[in-house]
Chain A
Amino acid sequence: MWRQTLRMTSLLDASPLSVMEVLRGERTTRPVANASAAPGLRALLEDGIFELLGPALRDEPVTLRASSLQSTPHTYDLSRSTPAQVRGILITQALRLMSVGLDVDDAFGETLLAWRADVGTNELTNFVDQLDADERARLVTDVTAHCVTLKRSLGPLSNRWLPRTSLRAYQRLAGGNVVLRDVIDLMVGTTTSDVASVALLDVTTSPLGEGAERVMRYHALVQTLRTSIAPLRSSMFSTATGDLWSLDVDDELLTRAALDVLDVLSQLAASA
């Protein structure tokens, strides 16, 4: 006896999700906005910092950024090299242009123009100016490739979701001894709603590594401290690999984020 296997076409249940679909999620299942977590987190951080740094006011605050949580002291992060920084800035500019409905065709040219209009001249713009033809061509190709990945994956971005880009946050803790700084590449949703609707997106041009989860948690923590309302989810998208990681924000995640911050501070205190 023999059985003939029929030729089959595999079909997915649904087309692959876009970044925006993941960020917005299912509207009906959103939890009530969490407005009670911020004071507890602040107390946890203040107590932890007091134990680590003591009560004396420092001349210079210890400043933490998302990048402080990304890598361990024993690793060198390639994304901090100058060409990678420029690439990251230009992709962020591309995201900003896409967020207002602009179709970015010439990824390098348009984002470079926008960046220059914003910052004028600085060390990094000078770096781009001084590239020779080969290096410049490599950068153009690199930025274009990353931009294509972003464009294909982002999905439609309705202005009813209130997209805001490159949002800065700054939190002083322990009387100014510690400063948490952050920049959210894209935020959608509002803090004025009764249900949690704010979703955060960090776009990176590096592959997502072990530090990515810590960074997503850090974004959620700083946003919670800044607005007193916990966001719905925190996500990270890599234009290098097309990977999207997304975490729903709850009390446990925020507590872990606060502990991550204290962990980095204790490493800094130990090495000082």
Chain B
Amino acid sequence: MYGWTGNILRINLSSKRINKETFDEEFAKKWVGGRGFAIKILWDELKPGVDPLGPENKLIVAVGPIAGIPAPNTGKTVVAAKSPLTGGYGDGNLGTRVTEHLRKAGFDVLIIEGKAEKPTYIYIEDDKVEFLPADEIWGKGSYETLDWLYDKYGRAIGILTIGQGGENKVLYAMIRSMEGRAGGRPGMGAVMGSKNLKAIVVKGTGKIPIAEPEEIRKIGLEDLKKVGEIDKKTGWSIQGTTGVLAWCNEVAALPVRNMRKTHHKDAWKIDGERLSKARVATYGCPNCTMRCGITILDKEGHKAEMDYENIGMLGSNLEIFDLAQVGSLNYMCDDFGLDTISTGGVLAFYADAIDQGAIDGDFKFGDAEKAKELLRKAAFRDGIGDFLAQGTLRMAKKIGKGSEAYAMHVKGLEISAYNCKYVPGMALAFATSAIGAHHKEAWVITFEINETERGSYGKEKAEKVVQLQRIRGGLFEFIVACRFPWIELGWDLDHYPVYFNKITGLNWGLEDFWKVADRIYALIRAFWVREFPNWDRQWDYPPKIWFDPSNADKEGLIAGKILELDKYDKLLDYYYEIRNWDKRGIPKKETMVGLGLEEEVKELEKYVKLE
């Protein structure tokens, strides 16, 4: 078998037992890698109802056949577990040297189970595994932890780590790598922390099994260079992802004031142009020639690596329009290992609830210093921070008084930086994302605003969401690679089957990938349904306030406009029809069987009646 090592390394932190296991070609072709491996393993091995922060939960680290190969933007690894934030399937990907090292160590997947007795880090060198005391780094931020590990092992090593947020099991703590890299929004860092696991260090010295090594090396390196040339020619990385802030402001889709507003006169102060001018460095992932990590000095003089989501959620959504202060919040999230999107959502919800009189407190929108104080408290679960560490869903349940309507999340995961009070297709994309409201899987907003009637609910919007989910939430999450060359520089999707086939020796076309993507989406949905057997379509609704006429903009481009529930329901029906799921949003039996999920049907039928 080429393209896969065929090996899984299972590490039990409770027993310190190591198992080297294998998978066959059928498994490889069915699930391919990354997110595909993660959902299949979690489905098979986790009993429904396990405590996500208990030793029974498992942390999956998975790469794919393209990962780590010198070709455009292949430095990514997927981290996954049952999410402590949502209670459903959770994952994320991040740029890390673990990608290449894990494959060279001879593994495609790590399964971390159990719980270490004391703070521990794992050192993996090929098939040797050491459990080492993490006393000196436990309690430290992710930057200091990385430096400590670099001093010990050198900078070329692969490292995944957590900050204090993960140690303290903040429900939106992430996993960190290589300074500004982070992944696993739905609390993957908290899962690591719950296992007393501070870091995973990987060194691989072997070879990745490739069907046509010379050919892929030639094509891959040439294409990496070409992508870099396109970037230089266009200048995309001058502003990277942050260019979109000014656009969102112009089209009234910017998150402002807990998404109550859609634009702001001061948005220009934190836009891509200002950020680019303030740049002191640029960082990126391995195997990337279009680096997007624009770095500025924050208020305290730290290097803060910014992108659009961070600025949208920690800036405009909190009505903080001082770039250096937004940088400070960004840096603190990175150092503590907290998700910037959820942190921004949580703080905005807290300010909003105070503003609405639903809860007492002294935090106001625009107060950057207080936001920093609260963020620190959340990371350490100190005082009010213990409340903030739970995420908006749980906070709203505790506050009550109608606050659930403006708790801006779907399935418990805070909404990323697009205000969809009048963008129905993007609202559908958030609502049907596999992990809760995340933008990465179907970024349909520019298509919607430029190519369709913005306020319409036509089938073409649902079709576009599914198409993008197949590509972004499917292909790029299981082969595993960064989607940016395709989405930002127009790098043709047809390149990816070429890389895949030269690596694996198979002869796949894009259609083969879409079937894998649909299989993965069906099994992820089955995972959610098994956890919550009273599942119905309301799980796929965006927050109520987007349907509330009193929340419509009072002035500007979309004054008086909101989402309409009956029409949204029709759009959701289209989505289910395309996926051949039933009206509750559960894959039909025939759909699952058609995707080769016969065994999974038997398991799911123990919990819910399938159509």
Task: Indicate whether A and B interact.
Answer: no
Chain B residues near A (Cβ < 8 Å)? none
